[in-house]
Amino acid sequence: MIVKGKIYILILFVLFIHTVNRTFAQMDSVAKANWILADTTMRQEVRTKRAMELIDKSITHPDAINSSYAWYTRGLIYKEWYKTFEKQNKKSKTRLDAVEFLKKALSLDKSQGRPIAIENKIEYNGNIYLVTDVYNAANIKTALKYIGSRFQNDAVYMLDTINYQAAIQNYEKFKECMLIADPKYNFRSTEMEFKTALADQYGNLFLNNIKTNKQFLKEAESTYKAVITLDTNYFNAIHGLALLYYNYGVDIINSMPLDVPIMEVDKIQDEARTNFRKALPYALKAYALKPKKKEVLIALQGIYFSLYEFEKSDVFKARLDKLPK
C-alpha cells in the first residue's frame, strides 16, 4: 500500500517535471536572452542590444506570447537598457516599452507570489548549457517602482511652461507604475506637491499673456483649488493662488496702453480690484499659516497697496522689516 502510494507520487513528480519542461521548452531563447545579458565578456551595450533583439524575436512564439516569464524577461531587459543607456532621456520609448512588458507579465502571472525555478537548455557559443532561471513576480514590482521613480524625477525636471504636458504624462506614468507595484501607495503628498507646481506653471503661462492665455487662468485656479480641497492648510497652493490673483490684477493695469480712453479706466480698475480682493483671503490664510514667511508679508503688503489701503500695507511692511535679514 505504502509502495503503491510512493509510486503514485513519483509518477506525479515525473509528470510535473515533464509538464514544466514542455511548458518551458519553447523558452530556451528567452533564457538565452537572459544568458546573453549576463555575459560580461561582451561590452554592456552589445550584450544588452543582442539580448533585446533575441527577446523581441522570441516573444512572437505562440508559447512565449502568453508566458509571464517571457514578458517578465523582456521587461527586465528593456529596463536594463533604459537604466544603462537612456536614463537621461526623459522621453525614452524603451522605458515606456519596459512598463508595458512588465504589466503584461503581471497580467499573465499565476505564481501567486512564489518564485519559480525554470530550467532551460540553451546552446551558446557551440556549447549546451542547462541553466536555471528564477521567475519572481516581486522583481516586476521592484522594476516598476524603479521606473516609476524615474518618471517622477523627470516629471519634476520637465515641469516648466514649455514641457509641462510631458511632465504631466511622466507624472501619470509614475502613478501608474507605483499603483501596480503597490496598490496601497499613498500619493496624497506627492499629488499636492505636483499639482501645486503644475498650477504655478499654468499661472506663469497665463501671466505670459493675460489676453491670449485665459484658459490657463482657469487651469491654474482649478488646480490650486483641487489641492486646497485635499488639504485646506496646504501653504504652497494657498500662497500660489493668492499670487495668481494678485499678479493678474497688476497685469490688468500694466497692460493698459497709456492712451486707453479715460472712460475705460474705471472699468479696468474694477477688474483689477476684483482680483486683488480675490487674492486677499488666500494671502491672509497663508499669513495665518506662516506669519514670518517673507514672501507672504511681501504679498500682503502689495495686495493692500494695490487696494490703496496704505495703512494696512504699511503694517505688513513693518513686519517685513522686522524679519531677521
d(CA 52, CA 257): 62
Q: What is the DSSP string of 59-91?
A: TTSHHHHT-HHHHHHHHHHHHHHHHHH-TT-TT
The CA distances from residue 188 to 8, 13, 193, in Å, are: 56, 50, 9
Name residues contacting another protein, limited to 243-302 (CB under 8 A). Answer: 243-244, 246-247, 249-251, 253-254, 256, 258-263, 265-266, 269-270, 272-273, 276-277, 295, 298-299, 302
Q: Which run of H or of E encompasses 116?
A: strand 116-124
Q: Does 191 bind another protein (CB under 8 A)?
A: no
Q: What is the largest CA-CA distance in the chain?
A: 110
CB 196 within 8 A of CB 159: no
Least distance from another protein to the Cβ atom of residue 118, Å: 28
Task: Say how far residue 125 (Cα) sits from the centre of its chain.
Answer: 42
Q: Does 182 bind another protein (CB under 8 A)?
A: no
Q: Does 203 bind another protein (CB under 8 A)?
A: yes
> Which sign, positive or negative, has the C-alpha torsion 79, 81, 87, 92?
negative
Least distance from another protein to the Cβ atom of residue 280, Å: 11
Looking at the Cβ atoms of 33 and 144, the one nearer to another protein is 144
Q: Which run of H or of E encompasses 188?
A: helix 188-208
Q: Does 321 bind another protein (CB under 8 A)?
A: no
Q: Does 157 bind another protein (CB under 8 A)?
A: yes
Binding residues with another protein: total (CB under 8 A) = 50
Name residues contacting another protein, limited to 30-49 (CB under 8 A). Answer: none
Q: What cell numbers appear for 124 in the block?
A: 551558446
> What is the phi/psi pair of residue 132, to 5°?
-115, 120
Q: Does 153 bind another protein (CB under 8 A)?
A: yes
Least distance from another protein to the Cβ atom of residue 275, Å: 12
Between 209 and 238, how does the x/- string for binding to another protein read (CB under 8 A)?
A: ---------------------------x--
Give 160's DSSP letter.
S
Looking at the Cβ atoms of 125 and 259, the one nearer to another protein is 259
Looking at the Cβ atoms of 9 and 262, the one nearer to another protein is 262
The piece of 9-17, 32-40, 76-84, 196-204 that touches another protein (CB under 8 A) is 196-204
Looking at the Cβ atoms of 137 and 299, the one nearer to another protein is 299
Q: What is the DSSP string of 241-287?
A: HHHHHHHHHHHHHHTS-TT--HHHHHHHHHHHHHHHHHHHHHHHHHH
* Amino acid identity for residue 56 in this structure: D
Looking at the Cβ atoms of 50 and 277, the one nearer to another protein is 277
Looking at the Cβ atoms of 97 and 251, the one nearer to another protein is 251
CB 35 within 8 A of CB 73: no
Least distance from another protein to the Cβ atom of residue 81, Å: 20
Q: Catalog residues that contact another protein under the rule CB under 8 A.
A: 149, 152-153, 156-157, 159, 193-194, 196-197, 200, 203-204, 236, 239-240, 243-244, 246-247, 249-251, 253-254, 256, 258-263, 265-266, 269-270, 272-273, 276-277, 295, 298-299, 302-303, 305-309
